[in-house]
């Protein structure tokens, strides 16, 4: 059932043509919560990964690219506002990830382990392409992850172009992270009860 | 012709979309409106699904295949959902899920439905106060819903459902987290509710027999028994594995049948008191 | 008796920052951030840092802001190190410690960026520390944002503290299962699954139930009473237009600079 659309009392907001169903409205906070838990688990285990997009992946898979993009966006905005203001700008990266996952999933690129491999590379590329300019603008090209930045420092020390160095720094980290997240999402999605998958599919 | 003064199910069956087997299978029963209907049954008997059908959640929100008919008064939860929904209160099994998730205080949580329906602020104040008093939440009105105990949370869930003055109130195991005193208070309050058709799923068989006008037993999706608590409890099939009220067990043990119908044993305290009196005076 | 918290403003003492509406505070943060990117002079940057710090100190300082500051100070320090050592424009030595030379150009570049980060943290900290979730929600709704979007934004704010509480339980489970003792990354990830799956299913189940509840409780009903703002704000419309105008100018200047670079 489509939600009874947004009431257009004010012209300023009627241009936001995002039709959210109630199911998507409650799925997104859950996805943000999962992002947050996964991130905290990764930190707790001292994994060299973020895992902070797991919820965004699952939201995209369950309710489509728009839901994923919004989850990613809101995730960074709220996380940024409350905990780490600069990460707010990476909301754009999260939108890209959400859309990429949604489209890849829809096209069947999450069906088996081999295809997930390809998906992970594509998603890591999308994420890196969007993040690199942000890294350069805000952090002079660093990512804030120690060993990624070590690569960055070595490359810069050898007079390699800052963009290339920053891209490498980000891509190495993203590739590892998105592989882990894509496979986790793939394995978790297969364990979700069919009624759950149907519910979010019906209520898109 | 449909009778507009009753709740009636007519060959009602329901299968979830993800499932092959029907969860509810060919239910037919009717009860006059404004009664209290208790639903009992074991795990996976279809109790929650029946509540969902009566609230219109299936097939409106959760899809599946519904056949047969369900009619409450002059409305059907299937055909007249938006209008029907406005007149129905529903309390979910898990009280946490009942909350809007946005309210800072218990008062705001109770007011949520009223705000959504555009009720005037002065009316909201008055209705929230009344409902909070009924469910003993007055002291908690300014607290955050997160600070409540399980039992208080269930009372809050009930408050949010009745504040809209529904004609139909559906309660899916509303006392699971309450302490014994809270449970007794709840059932005593339930008896005072008028002009409302109440459907309640519960495992509290003692209280249910005291309160309900009608008991339905569900067993693997079938309605295997329905009638007054007295009739239903006295005609149980051991296969259903239904617990009987303490009063009934005691009366069986002591062999204190009802004076009027010696084949039946009492299920409420009042019935028990009468037959104990009769048995005493006979001696 | 007024039982709902519309009466809050009568009982709680008003602070100066309560008369500024939330959107103005956010726009101010955006404006200061963009301005700091426009400036290249370190003294001006430091001035902006002081302005935003004053705003923050005049309101109140929260633990979250302090965390954010300490986290980024660390990053700024590594930035100064990397840029001071390796920045491609490095020519003039600044200091030499144990035969390692830090250069002026790189250090200056890193300091510039560091001040921008502090400005973002302070100005957003000002917004966060002086508004409450419900104030923002009522304000956004009162200026015409559809309720489901307000709900979405705000419910995320509410869900994070709840999840924080659950995390302790999960970390306990992690310890109990000895995941940390697992050797390889893949083993660690695999042993995460048995913890994650039930948790995720539970979380999604709760959101399914909540979406059912919301529909039963008349969410999205067109009759909804629009919330009234919690405070009387000082000239919100004027502030918005003024700040948006200034932001447009800053963006315009930046764009012009980029375009003229290509010309």
Provide the pLDDT for residue B278: 72
* Residue A27 maps to a domain: yes
Residues C51 and C117 in one domain: yes
**A175 with A124: CB under 8 angstroms?**
yes
Contacts of C149 (CB under 8 A, 6+ apart): A6, A13, A16, A18, A20, C140
Q: What is the distance in angstroms between the CA of the first residue and the CA of the last residue of chain C? A: 69
Is C88 touching A (CB cutoff 8 A)? Answer: yes
CA distance B147 to B167: 31
Nearest chain B residue to A193 by CA: give it: B18
Shared domain for C73 and C165, answered yes or no, is no
Is B32 a residue whose pLDDT tops 60?
yes
Taking an 8 Å cut-off on Cβ atoms, the answer to whether A82 and C64 are in contact is yes
Cα gap B44→C234, rounded to integer Å = 59
3-class DSSP assignment, residue B40: strand
As a whole number of angstroms, the distance between CA A201 and CA B12 comes to 26
Is C221 contained in some domain?
A: no
Q: Are B107 and C4 in contact (CB under 8 A)?
A: yes
Residue A16 resides in a domain: no
pLDDT tens, position by position, A145-173:
778 888 898 998 888 888 999 999 999 99
Residue A53 lies in a domain: yes
CB contact under 8 A, B61 and C219: no
Q: How far is C34 from chain A (nearest CA, A)?
A: 12
Is A131 a member of any domain? Answer: yes
CB-CB neighbors (< 8 A) of B18 in chain A: 193-195, 197-198
B61 touching chain C per CB within 8 A: yes
> What pLDDT was estimated at residue B279?
66
Mean pLDDT along residues B242-257 = 93
> Would the CB atoms of C216 and B88 count as touching at under 8 Å?
yes
Asked if residue C227 is part of any domain, the answer here is no
Q: C246: pLDDT confidence band, cut at 50, 70 and 90?
A: very high
Q: Best interface-test mutation with B: which of C213, C221, C227, C230 has the largest number of B CBs within 10 A?
A: C213
Q: Which of C157, C200, C240, C254 would best serve as a mutation to test chain A binding (most A beta carbons within 10 A)?
A: C200
Domain membership of residue A108 as a residue range: 23-202
Give B 37-66 residues with CB within 8 A of chain A.
60-63
pLDDT at res. A83: 72
H-type alpha helices, chain C: 8-11, 22-38, 42-58, 63-86, 104-130, 133-142, 147-177, 185-216, 236-262
Contact state of C120 with A85 under an 8 Å Cβ cutoff:
yes
Beta bridge partners of A18: none
Q: Say yes or no for a CB contact (<8 Å) between C188 and A47.
A: yes
User: How many structural domains are present in chain A?
Assistant: 1
**Any idea what DSSP says for residue A86?**
G
* Residues contacting residue B254 through CB under 8 Å, at least 6 positions apart: none
Cα A65 to chain centroid distance, Å, stands at: 11
Find residues 164-193 of chain C whose CB sits inside 8 Å of chain A: 166-167, 170-171, 174, 179-180, 185, 188-189, 192-193
Provide the number of structural domains found in chain C: 2
Q: A120 lies in a domain?
A: yes
* Contact across the interface for B61 and A193, Cβ inside 8 Å: no
Q: Is the per-residue pLDDT at C238 higher than 60? A: yes
Q: Which of the residues A29, A137, A158, A202 would you substitute to probe the C interface, choosing the one with the greatest number of C C-beta atoms within 10 Å? A: A29
Distance from CA of B269 to the nearest CA of A (A): 43
- A12 in a structural domain: no
To test the contact with chain A by mutation, choose from B23, B48, B62, B78 the residue with the greatest count of A C-beta atoms within 10 A, namely B62
What is the arithmetic mean of pLDDT over C5-31? 77
Q: What is the dihedral of CA B236, B242, B246, B252, to 10 degrees?
A: 30
106-165 in B: which are within 8 Å (CB) of A? none
Q: Judge whether residue C64 has pLDDT over 90.
A: no
Task: Say if residue B255 is exposed, middle or buried (CB neighbours under 10 Å; 0-12, 13-18, 19+).
Answer: exposed
Model confidence at B38: pLDDT above 80: yes
| H-helix or E-strand spanning residue A152 | helix A146-157
- Beta strands across the sheet bearing B64-72: B24-32, B6-16, B64-72
Angle between helices B150-162 and B180-192 (to 10 degrees): 10
Which residues of A fall within a CB distance of 8 Å from C128? 81-82
Q: Is the pLDDT of residue C68 over 70?
A: yes
**Cα distances (Å, whole numbers) of residue C162 to A154, B101, B140, C168:** 42, 11, 20, 11
User: Which tokens belong to B192?
Assistant: 């005072």
Instruction: Give Cβ neighbours of residue B262 (< 8 Å, ≥ 6 apart).
Output: none
With tokens 């003039």, the residue in question is: C92
Beta bridge partners of B199: B37, B170
- Answer yes or no: do C196 and A188 touch at CB < 8 A: yes
Mean residue pLDDT of chain C comes to 85
CA proximity to C6, closest of C155, C228, C232, C233: C228
- Joined together, the tokens standing for residue B154 give 């269930």
Q: Which residue of C has its CA nearest to B129?
A: C3
Residue A9 resides in a domain: no
Spell out the SS3 assignment of B228-240.
CHHHHHHCCCHHH
Residues in chain A closer than 8 A to C75 (CB atoms): 139, 142, 144
- Amino acid B224: pLDDT: 96
pLDDT at position A94:
95
pLDDT digits (tens, 9 = 90+) for A24-49: 999 999 999 999 888 888 877 778 78
The verdict on B101 touching C (C-beta cutoff 8 Å) is yes
Q: Which two tokens stand for residue A4?
A: 């009874």
Residue B195 half-sphere exposure, CB side, CA atoms within 13 Å? Answer: 4
User: Closest chain C residue to A1 measured between Cα atoms?
Assistant: C215
CATH number at residue A109: 1.10.1760.20
B90 contacts: CB under 8 Å, gap ≥ 6: B51, B55, B57, B161, B169, B170, B172, C216
Residue B206 has which token pair? 């003692």
Q: Which of A7-11, B228-232, C18-22, C104-108 has the lowest average pLDDT?
A: A7-11
* Residue A69 clears pLDDT 80, i.e. is over it: yes
Torsion of CA B110, B112, B117, B121, to 10 degrees: 70
What distance in Å separates the CA atoms of residue C231 and residue C236, rounded to the nearest whole number?
11
- Same-domain check for residues C97 and C27: yes
Query: Is the distance from CB of B9 to CB of B67 less than 8 angstroms?
Result: no
Specify the pLDDT at position B283.
55
Cβ proximity of A91 and A77 under 8 Å: yes
Half-sphere exposure at residue B132, Cβ-oriented, CA atoms within 13 angstroms: 22
Mean predicted confidence (pLDDT) in B148-164: 94
The answer as to whether C226 is a domain residue is no
- Give the pLDDT confidence score for residue C98 in this predicted structure: 82
Domain housing C188:
145-216
Mean pLDDT of chain B: 92
Interface contact A44, partner B, CB < 8 A? no
Kindly determine whether residue A195 and residue B18, on different chains, have CB atoms separated by under 8 Å. Answer: yes
What angle is formed at CA A112 by the lines to CA A106 and CA A113, rounded to 5 degrees?
Answer: 125
What pLDDT, on a 0 to 100 scale, did the predictor assign at position A6?
36
Q: C3, C8, C146: which to substitute to probe chain B, counting the most B Cβ within 10 Å?
A: C3
A125-160 burial, b if ≥16 CB within 10 A, otherwise e? bbbbebbbebbbebbbbbbbbeebbebbbebbeeee
* pLDDT tens sequence across B175-223: 999 999 999 999 999 999 999 999 999 999 999 999 999 999 999 999 9
Q: Could you tell me if C126 and C247 lie in one domain? A: yes
**Does residue C162 lie within any of the structural domains?**
yes
Query: Does C124 contact A at CB distance below 8 Å?
Result: yes
Distance CA B135, CA B186 (A): 8
- Is B1-87+166-236 in CATH node 2.30.110.10? no
8 Å CB contact of A9 and C145: no
Residue with tokens 């001040």: C115
Query: Considering CB atoms only, which of C67, C121, C146 is closest to A6?
Result: C146
Between vectors from CA B82 to CA B76 and to CA B86, what angle results, nearest 5°? 95
Tell me: do C25 and C102 sit in the same domain.
yes
Mean pLDDT computed over A42-61:
88
Mean pLDDT value of segment A109-119: 95
Q: Residue A13 has what pLDDT?
A: 40
Judge whether B192 and B113 are in contact, CB under 8 Å. no
Question: What ipTM, to 2 d.p.?
Answer: 0.88
Which residues of chain A have a CB within 8 Å of the CB of B61?
1, 203
With contacts defined as CB-CB under 8 Å, which chain A residues touch B60?
1
User: Which residues are within 8 A (CB) of B6 and not within 5 positions of it... i.e. 6 or more apart?
Assistant: B30, B31, B32, B33, B71, B73
* Residue A14 placed within a domain: no
- Does the distance separating the beta carbons of C221 and B118 come in below 8 Å? yes
Bridge partners of C102, per DSSP, are C95
Q: What is the residue extent of each domain of chain B?
A: 1-87+166-236, 100-165, 245-283
Going B219 to B223 to B227 to B231, the CA torsion angle's sign is: negative
Summarize the confidence of residues C59-63 as an average pLDDT.
Answer: 82
Whether C125 and C86 map to the same domain: the answer is: yes
Mean pLDDT calculated for residue range C247-258 = 90
Chain C residue closest to A9 (CA)? C144
């Amino acid at each position: 059932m489509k939600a009874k659309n947004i009431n257009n009392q004010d012209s300023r907001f009627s241009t936001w043509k995002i039709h959210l169903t109630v199911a998507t409205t409650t799925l997104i906070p859950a996805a943000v919560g999962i992002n947050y838990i996964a991130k905290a688990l990764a930190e707790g285990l001292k994994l060299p990964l973020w895992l902070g997009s797991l919820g965004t992946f699952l939201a995209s898979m369950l309710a489509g690219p728009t839901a994923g993009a919004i989850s990613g966006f809101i995730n960074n905005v709220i996380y940024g506002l409350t905990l780490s203001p600069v990460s707010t700008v990476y909301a754009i990266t999260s939108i890209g990830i959400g859309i990429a996952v949604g489209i890849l999933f829809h096209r069947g690129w999450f069906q088996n382990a081999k295809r997930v491999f390809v998906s992970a590379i594509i998603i890591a590329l999308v994420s890196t392409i969007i993040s690199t300019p942000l890294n350069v603008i805000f952090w002079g090209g660093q990512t804030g992850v120690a060993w990624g930045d070590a690569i960055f420092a070595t490359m810069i020390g050898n007079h390699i172009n800052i963009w290339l160095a920053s891209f490498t720094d980000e891509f190495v980290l993203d590739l590892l992270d998105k592989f882990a997240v894509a496979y986790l999402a793939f394995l978790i999605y297969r364990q979700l009860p069919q009624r759950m998958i149907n519910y979010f599919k019906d209520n898109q | 012709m449909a009778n507009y003064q009753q709740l009636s199910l007519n060959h009602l069956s329901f299968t979830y979309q993800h499932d092959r087997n029907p969860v509810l299978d060919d239910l037919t029963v009717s009860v006059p409106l404004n009664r209290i209907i208790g639903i009992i049954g074991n795990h996976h008997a279809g109790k929650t699904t029946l509540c969902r059908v009566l609230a219109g959640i299936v097939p409106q929100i959760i899809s599946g295949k519904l056949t047969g008919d369900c009619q409450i008064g002059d409305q059907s939860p299937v055909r007249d959902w938006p209008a029907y929904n406005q007149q129905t209160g529903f309390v979910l099994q898990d009280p946490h899920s009942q909350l809007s998730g946005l309210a800072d205080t218990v008062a705001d949580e109770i007011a949520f439905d009223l705000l959504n329906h555009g009720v005037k602020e002065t009316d909201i104040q008055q209705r929230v106060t009344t409902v909070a008093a009924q469910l003993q939440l007055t002291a908690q009105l300014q607290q955050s819903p997160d600070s409540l105990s399980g039992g208080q949370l269930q009372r809050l869930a009930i408050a949010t459902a009745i504040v809209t003055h529904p004609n139909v109130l559906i309660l899916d195991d509303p006392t699971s987290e309450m302490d014994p005193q809270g449970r007794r208070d709840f059932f005593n309050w339930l008896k005072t509710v008028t002009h409302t058709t109440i459907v309640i799923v519960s495992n509290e068989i003692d209280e249910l027999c005291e309160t309900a006008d009608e008991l339905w037993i569900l067993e693997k999706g079938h309605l295997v028994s329905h009638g007054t608590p007295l009739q239903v409890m006295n005609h149980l099939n051991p296969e259903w594995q239904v617990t009987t009220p303490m009063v009934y067990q005691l009366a069986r043990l002591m062999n204190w049948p009802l004076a009027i119908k010696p084949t039946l044993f009492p299920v409420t305290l009042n019935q028990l008191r009468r037959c104990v009196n009769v048995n005493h005076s006979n001696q | 008796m007024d039982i709902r918290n519309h009466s809050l403003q009568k009982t709680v003492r008003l602070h100066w920052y309560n008369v500024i509406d939330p959107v103005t505070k956010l726009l101010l943060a955006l404006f200061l951030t963009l301005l700091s990117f426009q400036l290249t002079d370190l003294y001006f940057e430091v001035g902006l840092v002081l302005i935003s710090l004053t705003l923050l100190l005049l309101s109140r300082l929260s633990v979250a802001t302090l965390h954010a500051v300490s986290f980024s100070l660390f990053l700024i320090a590594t930035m100064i190190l990397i840029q001071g050592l390796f920045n491609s424009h490095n020519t003039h030595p600044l200091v030499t410690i144990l035969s390692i030379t830090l250069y002026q150009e790189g250090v200056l570049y890193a300091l510039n960026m560091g001040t921008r980060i502090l400005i973002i943290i302070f100005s957003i900290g000002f917004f966060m520390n002086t508004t409450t979730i419900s104030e923002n929600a009522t304000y956004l709704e009162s200026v015409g944002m559809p309720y489901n979007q307000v709900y979405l934004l705000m419910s995320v704010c509410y869900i994070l503290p709840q999840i924080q509480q659950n995390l302790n339980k999960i970390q306990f489970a992690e310890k109990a299962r000895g995941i940390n003792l697992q050797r390889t990354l893949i083993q660690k990830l695999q042993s995460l699954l048995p913890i994650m799956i039930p948790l995720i299913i539970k979380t999604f189940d709760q959101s399914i139930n909540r979406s059912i509840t919301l529909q039963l409780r008349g969410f999205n009903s067109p009759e909804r009473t629009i919330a009234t703002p919690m405070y009387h704000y000082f000239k919100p419309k004027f502030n918005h237009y003024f700040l948006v105008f200034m932001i447009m100018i800053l963006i315009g200047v930046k764009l012009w600079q980029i375009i003229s670079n290509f010309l």
